[in-house]
Structure 1
Amino acid sequence: MNSLVEKEQQLRSTKTHDTAAVRLIQEGGYVSPSPHLWDDVLISIVLKKPVLLKGPSGSGKTKLAQTISHYFNQPMQSINCSVDLDAEALLGFKTIISKDGETIIEFVEGPVVQAMKKGHILYIDEINMARPETLPILHSVLDHRRMLTNPFTGEVIYAHEDFTVISAINEGYVGTSPMNEALKNRFVSFTVPYLTGEQLELVMKDTCPFASKQLVETFLHISIDLKKQVMNGLLSDEAASVRSLLDAMALAEHIPVKRAVQYAIAEKLDDTIERRLVMELVDTWVK
């Protein structure tokens, strides 16, 4: 794993966004939808600022975190938040084991403790799905103190120099709740939009390298139309998910485009009218 100084040197060596984008897509990594997003997130990481990624489902937030992990050669511990998330899921738990013929109580370290001690990236996905009363335990981890007193063991843990926190949220989705101000203020926040234009085309060709030019163009048109209807309020955000679009395109290399879009995009939508609208948009480009 790179030290903080090595991270800074590595960051300075990235000369332009375009160069970084080409290299990362060749490695199967994240492609930034704007000229500055990738570089600005990296700078925040090097400055030890907790990063909050905001954006719709399928916009690439997890991919961005994974690419940062790869870029810095830094392992990542992941937490998938839900209403069932508790302190044990974050910090660890006590268990009874047999050792040298004796029964002892051992503490199994959770992702937060492991990431802090080993200098890993801690990725907290859908942080606004967790119960508000669960997360204050992380306040001292996320601010200038970068430390934690483990309530299960009494151990005081100071974060490794390379310890990094990246969180992600899907705003306004069912089951989510607004982040409280005390938690939100500990992050530097970035909006992660869907890919469009040349960046999306680059990802399509990387994901489906044997797809015909016509198929790529068809899905670019479909993507544009889906995004327009999302902006018009006629489709929910997930209809324009890049992840779903790429799934549909991969299927369409083997089955008709209409069926591929139906399975990968339309059938995921709860609203019958939305499903019908998606298929009508496809009919515009597929005869």
Structure 2
Amino acid sequence: MSECKREWMEQVRRYREQHLVSAEAKSRVMPPPIPYFGDEILEMAATALLQGENLLLTGGKATGKNILAENLAWMFGRPVYNISFHVNTDSSSLIGTDTFSDNQVKLRRGPVSQCAMYGGFGILDEINMAKNEAVSVLHAVLDHRRILDIPGYEKVPLAEETRFIGTMNYGYAGTRELNEALVSRFLVIDMPEPEEDTLAQVFLHLFPKIRTSALKQVIGLFLDLQAKASHGEITTRTLDLRGLIGALRTVELGLSPKKAVAMGVTNKTFDLFEKEIVEDVVRTRIPDDWGREDVFE
């Protein structure tokens, strides 16, 4: 382990010890489904968060943006509040809404309010789908004032530990360019595309009994699709690491690899011409006669 890595990891450890989580939010401190493999990116992200900065993770599909965000929250020992943006996300869904309880009107706090109160890590998923009303809330909590103004109730200062981590993909339907004022409130990390070594670590972590020969072909399949997508031969619909992982899980239960990959990868596109290209790629990597015993020990 390098001296630099030891240093920032020690700082994160001390941070966890010095910033305890309240009992109300402890249930939101959860381990991520898989670790994030990428020391350089982890170092960049952790040092930014240690200095109180918010992060914006950008990049293509399957670059591990949400996995990194969840790993960072777990490393820092902070509760997680996931906020997925879509066309119906407005200020009330972020801040909170009025509700009637005990014969009086009370505020039912939204995820941003709870994140501010309990010093959580708010994961702003697909932030470039946020409409103006939601963006105005983000401007308030992300700038140097760190205050959330809840109309009709109070001004809530953000807890010292509160951080926000935005994620965004390029070119998805419904997305748009982030305005300069919003981007200026983040430090930005452009996530690299997964390489062979990283994919091997991910698959071996999830499937320790996978055969070496099968692992090579599964990684090769993903990289082949990644290359075709980058060259514009296919869309990114079938470049689905989650789908490939799901396919391998069904193979563990005895489903044929051919059928599993069809469900997890090939059938993600509904264009017949693109599907033919993907099927040709799959055929070169996953033989039709493979069974479970060809993939797992």
Give the structure-2-normalised TM-score.
0.82
Q: What's 2:191 paired with?
A: 192
Out of 18, 33, 36, the residue aligned to residue 30 of structure 1 is: 36
Deviations 1:181-222 (A, max 9, x none): 211121111122332211110110111122222211110111
- For 1:278, the aligned partner's letter is V
Shift of 1:283: 1.2
Check the 8 A contact 2:91/2:133 in 1, yes or no. no
Q: How far apart in 2 are the matches of 1:63 and 1:109?
A: 26
* 2:67 is equivalent to residue 77 of structure 1: no
Shift of 1:238: 3.4
* 2:294 is equivalent to residue 270 of structure 1: no
Check the 8 A contact 2:34/2:67 in 1, yes or no. no
Out of 91, 98, 106, the residue aligned to residue 87 of structure 1 is: 91
Q: 1:237 to 1:152 in 2, by over 3 A?
A: farther
Shift of 1:236: 1.6
Check the 8 A contact 2:32/2:74 in 1, yes or no. no
Check the 8 A contact 1:219/1:249 in 2, yes or no. no
Q: 1:129 to 1:173 in 2, by over 3 A?
A: same
Check the 8 A contact 2:32/2:70 in 1, yes or no. no
* 2:127 is equivalent to residue 158 of structure 1: no
Give the structure-1-normalised TM-score.
0.85
Q: How far apart in 2 are the matches of 1:190 and 1:65?
A: 12
Q: How far apart in 1 are the matches of 2:250 and 2:192?
A: 24
Structure 1: runs of 5+ lacking an equivalent: 1-6, 14-24
- For 2:11, the aligned partner's letter is Q
Check the 8 A contact 1:118/1:160 in 2, yes or no. yes
Check the 8 A contact 2:12/2:75 in 1, yes or no. no
Q: How far apart in 2 are the matches of 1:264 and 1:53?
A: 25
Q: How far apart in 2 are the matches of 1:180 and 1:27?
A: 33
Q: How far apart in 2 are the matches of 1:68 and 1:162?
A: 13
Check the 8 A contact 2:62/2:194 in 1, yes or no. no
Structure 2: runs of 5+ lacking an equivalent: 1-7, 15-30, 288-297
1:133 partner SS: helix
| RMSD over aligned Cα atoms | 2.1
Worse-superposed segment, 220-229 or 231-240:
231-240
Q: What's 1:174 paired with?
A: 173
Q: What's 1:135 paired with?
A: 135
Shift of 1:75: 0.6
Check the 8 A contact 1:26/1:206 in 2, yes or no. no
Shift of 1:256: 2.5
Worse-superposed segment, 266-275 or 40-49:
266-275
Check the 8 A contact 1:132/1:180 in 2, yes or no. no
For these two proteins, the number of residue pairs brought into alignment is 263
- For 1:86, the aligned partner's letter is D
Q: Which has the higher contact order (CA 8 A, sep 6+)?
A: 1
Shift of 1:131: 1.3
Shift of 1:250: 2.5
1:49 partner SS: coil
Check the 8 A contact 1:58/1:244 in 2, yes or no. no
Q: What's 1:282 paired with?
A: 282
